[in-house]
């Protein structure tokens, strides 16, 4: 009986996590704000644009990126670092009195044995979601200096854009220039980009290309991502666009580029809202797919010499 009660409580907690995160993102979308497009102004030495970082500098992935970006923007945090209470203590710091942390989630699986169709005992992998609390370095006193170090205002340099161009080139994607639309064509398997000169600036071009290359990863020969897209504007189409938007935002953070707010994507907000309201796990899935897409593109880069 105790096991059943605990199992029911754990299931309710999981559902609550999905609901709370989804409701927060739905509220942002209803206000006309896409939470993965942060108005980048961070002044920390880790870079004006970065994914949220764990205490050891490892970037967060999936839904935690979106949640911590939203938390940082709402509370005005500058440092990209996030620590548990214990990690802060181990580094010689302490959380300021009265501060409240932000929830992050951890997905994993556990094995469970149960009776199969023919009566034999089978082992299943059961997914589960855990939640724990982290604090921004801004909320902690006494940490090593690099957690607080501010950078000089970065200037737009050719080096940064060259690095982005090199990143895209190493994917060896078929990128064709011409026309006035950016898109990925699945069956012929190529990306179409308007001429560079037609973009507002180099970062806009790179951010748009990051979006289309996230689409490019869905091809059966790569990540084989099929979200049920049947026709323009349906739920599967909107879900794929959601993955591409977040994937581009993750890549822009990694490449220190400002994400591009594309006016033509504002039309998807209504469909995204329907998808998220119908399925509280949809945003978690989309963020996971986006992380896998970004990781795949990073995996195509040449390895640094030892």
Angle of helix 202-216 versus helix 282-299 axis, rounded to 10: 100
The mean pLDDT value of the chain amounts to 83
User: How far is the C-alpha of 66 from the C-alpha of 239, rounded, in Å?
Assistant: 16
Q: Which range in 77-91, 98-112, 197-211, 292-306 is most confidently predicted, on average pLDDT?
A: 77-91
Please say whether the dihedral angle defined by the alpha carbons of residues 35, 36, 37 and 42, taken in this order, is positive or negative.
positive
pLDDT at residue 96 in the model: 95
Residue 54 tokens, joined: 């764990």
Helix residue ranges per DSSP H, the chain: 2-30, 63-75, 85-90, 158-170, 202-216, 235-255, 269-278, 282-299
Q: Is the pLDDT of residue 75 over 70?
A: yes
Contact 121, 115 (CB under 8 A): yes
pLDDT at residue 305 in the model: 55
Q: Is the pLDDT of residue 231 over 80?
A: no
pTM for the model: 0.77
Concatenating the DSSP letter of every residue in 268-304 gives GHHHHHHHHHH-TTHHHHHHHHHHHHHHHHHHTSPPP
Q: Which of 139, 131, 124 is nearest to 82 (CA)?
A: 139
Q: Is the pLDDT of residue 158 over 50?
A: no
Q: Please, which pLDDT band fits residue 237 given cuts at 50, 70 and 90?
A: confident
The mean per-residue pLDDT over the stretch 239-267 comes to: 82
Q: Please, which pLDDT band fits residue 86 given cuts at 50, 70 and 90?
A: very high
Block residue for tokens 């739920």 = 235
Block residue for tokens 């009776």 = 115
């Amino acid at each position: 009986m105790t096991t059943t009660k605990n199992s029911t409580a754990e299931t309710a907690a999981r559902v609550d996590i999905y609901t709370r995160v989804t409701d927060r993102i739905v509220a942002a979308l209803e206000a006309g704000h896409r939470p993965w497009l942060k108005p980048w102004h961070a002044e920390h030495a880790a870079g004006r644009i970065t994914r949220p970082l764990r205490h050891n500098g490892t970037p967060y992935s999936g839904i935690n990126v979106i949640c911590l970006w939203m938390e940082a923007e709402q509370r005005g945090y500058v440092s990209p670092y996030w620590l548990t209470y214990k990690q802060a203590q181990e580094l010689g710091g302490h959380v300021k009195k009265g501060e409240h942390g932000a929830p992050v989630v951890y997905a994993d699986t556990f094995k469970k044995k149960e009776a199969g169709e023919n009566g034999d005992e089978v082992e299943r992998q059961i997914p589960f979601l855990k939640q724990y609390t982290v604090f921004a370095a801004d909320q902690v006193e006494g940490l090593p200096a690099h957690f607080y170090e501010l950078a000089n205002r970065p200037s737009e340099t050719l080096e940064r854009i060259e690095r982005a161009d090199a990143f895209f080139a190493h994917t060896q994607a078929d990128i064709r220039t011409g026309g006035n639309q950016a898109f990925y064509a699945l069956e012929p398997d190529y990306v179409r980009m308007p001429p560079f000169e037609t973009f507002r600036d180099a970062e806009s071009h790179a951010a748009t290309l990051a979006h289309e290359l996230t689409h490019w990863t869905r091809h059966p020969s790569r990540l084989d991502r099929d979200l049920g897209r049947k026709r323009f504007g349906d739920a599967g189409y909107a879900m794929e666009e959601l993955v591409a938007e977040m994937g581009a935002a993750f890549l822009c953070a990694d490449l220190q580029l400002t994400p591009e707010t594309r006016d033509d994507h504002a039309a998807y907000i209504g469909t995204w809202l329907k998808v998220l309201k119908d399925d509280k796990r949809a945003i978690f899935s989309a963020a996971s797919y986006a992380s896998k897409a970004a990781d795949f593109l990073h995996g195509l880069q040449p390895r640094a010499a030892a």
